[in-house]
Amino acid sequence: MFEGLSVAMVTPFKNGAIDYTAVSNLVEFMIEGGVQGLVVSGSTGEAATTSFDEKRELWKFVKAQAKGRAWMVVGTGTNDTAQSVGITKLAEECGADGALVVTPYYNKPTPKGQIAHFTAVAKSTKLPIIVYNVPGRTGTNTLPGTIAQLQDLANVVAVKEASGSVDQMSQVKQQSRFTLLSGDDSLTLPVIAVGGEGIISVVGQMVPREMRALTDAARAGRMSEAQAMHDKLAPIFKAAFIESNPSPTKFLLSRMGICANELRLPLVPVEPSSETAILAAAEKVGVKLASAVYA
């Protein structure tokens, strides 16, 4: 479940509020480009600085905008299990097709605590759950052996693996029944090569057609074709993370005319030197820029 190309979309802001015109622009651009799933309110979506009410309104809007053309998974995980349960119940009420539940950050729970957390969230809902392992953000690595112990939870269906270790991702696939999704754009090809079924992408909102082509080719075993697309996209894979995500992405989307280059503190726009590098990467990849910056 959730195989193929999903995109962890940014949350567009304008003058401090969610910009629903830009949300519509982004959703349409991605779906027209072949994106199969939308992941809303993840770390790329600045979920940590959006309120409960903002999430509710955003999820309902994206669900209505997608009109069934792409599934909608929403980020519901926090470092507070009770709060995560509450947000997951909200996601179900809003018509989400699944919930993305990150390993609790800051608290640094043991494997036993991680299992208890995911179990509590999964048992609180009928929604399919994607476990999200991203040690670089959480400070805690959810190991393959820990993930394997979640297999008795019927609605835990997939793992978004962003440890950066292809070996660890391979072990997740070997030790569990879950759909394995890469959490790193640059590792899409190698993760699929070791049994992964897709990617929850960041750059897919800037180059959706190309990321869909890469994912489809790799999943079909057309590795030379997939390798060629990987090589083409390598500059933007790097540029999208030249500073803290999603700052580089929002800058480039603003230059594409899709949304404003506005973030919520503590995130700030990228530095001028990073802007230059991002635009150079976009040119190499063939990203079409707008005649005017979105403002």
pLDDT tens digits for range 89-103: 999 999 999 999 999
Q: Is residue 66 part of a domain?
A: yes
Residue indicated by tokens 């390598």: 234
Q: Is 105 a catalytic residue?
A: no
| Residue 135 pLDDT greater than 90, yes or no | yes
- Residue 295 confidence (pLDDT): 84
Please tell me the distance from the alpha carbon of residue 238 to that of residue 84, in angstroms, as a whole number.
Answer: 32
Confidence check: pLDDT of 10 > 90? yes
> Is there a domain that residue 245 lies in?
no
Tell whether 259 is covered by a domain.
Answer: no
Please give the radius of gyration of the chain, using alpha carbons only, rounded to the nearest integer. 18
For every residue of 19-50, DSSP letters joined together read -HHHHHHHHHHHHHTT--EEEESSTTTTGGGS
Give the mean pLDDT of the chain. Answer: 97
CATH of the domain at 198: 3.20.20.70
**Among candidate residues 247, 236, 244, the one with its CA nearest the CA of residue 278:** 236
In a domain, 295, yes or no: no
Segment 107-136 mean pLDDT: 98
Domain membership of residue 148 (yes or no) is yes
Per-residue pLDDT, averaged over 163-180, amounts to: 97
Q: 54's torsion region: left (phi>0), alpha (psi -120 to 50) or beta?
A: alpha
Q: Is 20 a catalytic residue?
A: no
Out of 55, 105, 132, 294, pick the active-site residue. 132
* Per-residue tokens: 234: 């390598």
Has residue 283 been placed in a domain? no
CA 31 to chain centre: 15
Q: What is the pLDDT of residue 170?
A: 97
**Residue 248, both tokens:** 């580089």
Q: What percent of the chain has pLDDT over 70?
A: 100
Cut 0.85: pTM above it: yes
Q: By C-alpha distance, which of 146, 190, 155, 196 is closest to 173?
A: 196
pLDDT reading at 29 higher than 90: yes
Q: How far apart are CA 211 and CA 137, in angstroms?
A: 24
Give the model confidence (pLDDT) of 207-221 as tens digits: 999 999 999 999 999
Q: What range does the domain containing 101 cover?
A: 4-223
Say how far apart CA 251 and CA 263 lie, in whole Å. 10
- Is residue 65 domain-resident? yes
Are 171 and 161 in contact by the 8 Å Cβ rule? The answer is: no
Domain count, the chain: 1
DSSP state of 221: T
Can you read off the two tokens belonging to residue 82? 């009770």
- Residue pLDDT, tens place only, 50-105: 999 999 999 999 999 999 999 999 999 999 999 999 999 999 999 999 999 999 99
Q: What is the pLDDT of residue 77?
A: 98
Q: Are 255 and 289 in contact (CB under 8 A)?
A: yes
Predicted local distance difference test score (pLDDT) of residue 1:
86
Which pLDDT value is given to residue 92?
Answer: 98
- From the candidates 63, 160, 173, 250, which is the catalytic residue? 160
pLDDT band at 238 (very low <50, low <70, confident <90, very high): very high
Question: Residue 140: what pLDDT?
Answer: 96
Indicate whether 263 belongs to any domain: no
